[in-house]
Structure 1
Amino acid sequence: MTSKTYYSVSEVTQYIKSMLDTDSLLSNIYIQGELSNVKYHYSGHVYFTLKDPFAVIKGVMFKSNVNRLPFRLEDGLMVTVRGYISVYEPSGQYQIYADAMKKQGTGDLYEAFELLKAKLDKEGLFDPSKKKKPPLLPEKIAVVTSATGAVIRDIIHVLSRRFPNFHLILYPVHVQGKEASGEIARALRVINDKNLADVIILARGGGSIEELWPFNEELTARSIYESRIPVISAVGHETDFTIADFVA
């Protein structure tokens, strides 16, 4: 390497932070967007993502400001956030430090979720009497999920303990993105047409409402409902709810 002046990661990050901190626009800015990935920390601080159709920005609101809010922050809310933009040095990430927030209404995805949920409920797709019960000791279990990652390993571990002699059929699909819902529907159809399993597990790990959206699409919901083979929804964490959960 040639002889020249080099800077440490900390020095570059501190320089960028100083540029943002002294910018008159960014020191007191109003940003409108949709809340996502809202996390209430035990400290009382709230972490969130603010997004529009084209970009996202991370954000934090400290406890003292959270306590002054007249509403609870939730995924899907359209809000106007007032605060300043700075860099959180340990992660090298710029974010908005919010000191005030005003609710505008519900975001597009949340509204779409509620509309489809109401529609399918009215049609009877959530009727408990129409749900297919899985057998107590299934011999063939199909898992529809990503071929890689912790989810499939966890499922195999749990199933191996509960059903030592079961036969696993893994049907790999995308579990997020535009193509995911179509792939899930096709997987359910093939497994039914070929009678490949006694029960189907539809699975993926947790994520934001955007990442879980294929499991909130009408095509996925109707494919689960029309499946002759019982479908178990194992999507997201315990706090995540999808349309697939209501149908399965």
Structure 2
Amino acid sequence: MLFQDSLGAPSAISVSALSLYLKELLDTNDILQNIWVHGEVSNCKTYPSGHCYFTLKEGEAQLSCVFFKQARLRTAAPSLRDGMALAVNGRIAFYERDGKLQFYVNAVMSLGEGALFRKFEQLKARLEAEGLFDSERKRPLPEQPATIGIVTSLQAAALRDMLRTLRNRYPLAQVILAPAQVQGAEAPASIAMALDLLNEHGEAEVIIVGRGGGSIEELWAFNEEIVARAIARSRIPVISGVGHETDFTIADFVADFRASTPTAAAAAAVPDITDWQIELQEKQQLLTALIIERIEDCNVQVAQALRELQRVSPEGTIAQRRQQLDECTERLQTYMRHIISLRVERLRGVSLQLHSLSPLLTIARGYAVVRQQRDHAVVTSTQQVQVGDTLTIQVQDGQIAAQVRDSVEKI
């Protein structure tokens, strides 16, 4: 609605005025104040307040709907979820703050499941029958992957969240990014190609397939068979982190591990280095305590061993025996001196006795000692000599050689 000034130039009205005009226009339309609309539920969210917000879609058209808690309780409406086919009764109004049309629901009637939901259930049942969801085929995730592959959009906020989580939890890991479209008609083939490329590259030890939350249509690429098949044939374990905690896709069922969000997927892919640091500190403290305890035990054992060694040490015995040896040596020396003294005295006596019996004394008195020269035998009888024997006659001052010439006669 335009107004012209006196010069004919148009003048604009304010946004508030236009919003009020649209609101009044819709509120005064009897048809739009009580109308039934049918479509498929998407992006359904129920808040703690009890109010339910969802989008009703059909083809390319969509209508934002609000189902307040009072209306839900009054009509005993069923719990709404994505994929339901509904007929909703209510009124159209203009929500001025957001500048958009909203359908305020008074009552709902379930028409069964929507086309997308039926497609989802049909593919899920077929793949499950083939065994693609079996727990036996799911592989364990590596505990300490050196390289992590990520399949997502380069522009996705989820990529920044995953990289930040990986960097904070496990900065040792390298990341290989395989960019892919995660929304739209070309997204399924793009995701499958990125998975195949990471498998062909071969360095990644685990792959994260993820994107942030959205409506069922926005997440639909992860419900396509081509993506499910790519995950199933991957030689590398796959973590699915698509949407929010309440969102489930076919990729979640086929993947080796389902995470509630992309951030949770990154956390599941790697250990938390903080836990290692805490565990390392605890083990270090335990090891220190064990070492101190061991040293104390060793000190006690050494002290006991020293006491036992001192008790059995031969040092005391050696000292005692050394003293005994000194005493024995002294006694032996005294005894030997005594024995020698006695022997000297006895020798002196024997010498005197021998001297008194010595033939030299007899010789000194004028006698002589006659000996055979051949054997120095003392001649005391004529029977001991014969004519021609050589004799030695010992006198006081020397010896005289003699020879027997005449016959020997007895006296």
Same fold (TM over 0.5): yes
Q: Is the 8 A contact 1:69 1:101 kept in 2?
A: no
Q: Is the 8 A contact 2:156 2:211 kept in 1?
A: no
Does 1:125 pair with 2:132?
A: yes
Counterpart of 1:30 in structure 2 is 36
Alpha-carbon distance in structure 2 between the residues aligned to 1:23 and 1:191: 58
Tell me the CA shift for residue 124 of structure 1: 0.5
State, as a whole percentage, how many aligned pairs show the same letter. 49
Counterpart of 1:180 in structure 2 is 187
Alpha-carbon distance in structure 2 between the residues aligned to 1:6 and 1:147: 42
Does 1:10 pair with 2:16?
A: yes
Q: List aligned pairs for 1:12-91, cutoff 5 A.
A: 12-67=18-73, 68-91=75-98
Q: List aligned pairs for 1:197-212, cutoff 5 A.
A: 197-212=204-219
Alpha-carbon distance in structure 1 between the residues aligned to 2:148 and 2:201: 13
Alpha-carbon distance in structure 1 between the residues aligned to 2:178 and 2:67: 42
Q: Is the 8 A contact 2:65 2:104 kept in 1?
A: yes
Counterpart of 1:244 in structure 2 is 251
Farther-moved stretch of structure 1 (124-133 vs 216-225): 124-133
Alpha-carbon distance in structure 2 between the residues aligned to 1:193 and 1:48: 41
Structure 1 letter corresponding to 2:64: K
Tell me the CA shift for residue 133 of structure 1: 2.1
Structure 2 letter corresponding to 1:51: K
Counterpart of 1:222 in structure 2 is 229
Structure 1 letter corresponding to 2:116: L
Q: List aligned pairs for 1:106-125, cutoff 5 A.
A: 106-125=113-132
* Candidates 151, 161, 174, aligned match of 2:158: 151
Q: Secondary structure at the match of 1:136?
A: coil
Tell me the CA shift for residue 70 of structure 1: 4.0
Farther-moved stretch of structure 1 (213-222 vs 164-173): 164-173
Q: Is the 8 A contact 1:80 1:101 kept in 2?
A: yes
Larger Rg: 2
Alpha-carbon distance in structure 2 between the residues aligned to 1:163 and 1:65: 49
TM-score by length of 1: 0.95
Q: Which protein is richer in helix relative to its size?
A: 2
Q: Which protein is richer in strand relative to its size?
A: 1
Tell me the CA shift for residue 146 of structure 1: 0.7
Alpha-carbon distance in structure 2 between the residues aligned to 1:134 and 1:41: 35
Q: Is the 8 A contact 2:231 2:238 kept in 1?
A: yes
Farther-moved stretch of structure 1 (208-217 vs 155-164): 155-164
- The Cα offsets for residues 154-179 of structure 1, whole Å up to 9 and x where unpaired, read as 11111112322211111111111110
- The Cα offsets for residues 200-241 of structure 1, whole Å up to 9 and x where unpaired, read as 110100111111111111110110010001111111111111
Counterpart of 1:94 in structure 2 is 101
Question: Greater relative contact order: 1 or 2 (C-alpha under 8 angstroms, separation 6 or more)?
Answer: 1
Tell me the CA shift for residue 106 of structure 1: 0.3
Tell me the CA shift for residue 134 of structure 1: 2.3
Structure 2 letter corresponding to 1:204: R
Structure 2 letter corresponding to 1:38: C
Mark the runs of 5 or more structure 1 residues left unpaired by the alignment.
none
- The Cα offsets for residues 129-166 of structure 1, whole Å up to 9 and x where unpaired, read as 11122211111111100101321111111111232221
Number of aligned residue pairs: give it.
Answer: 247
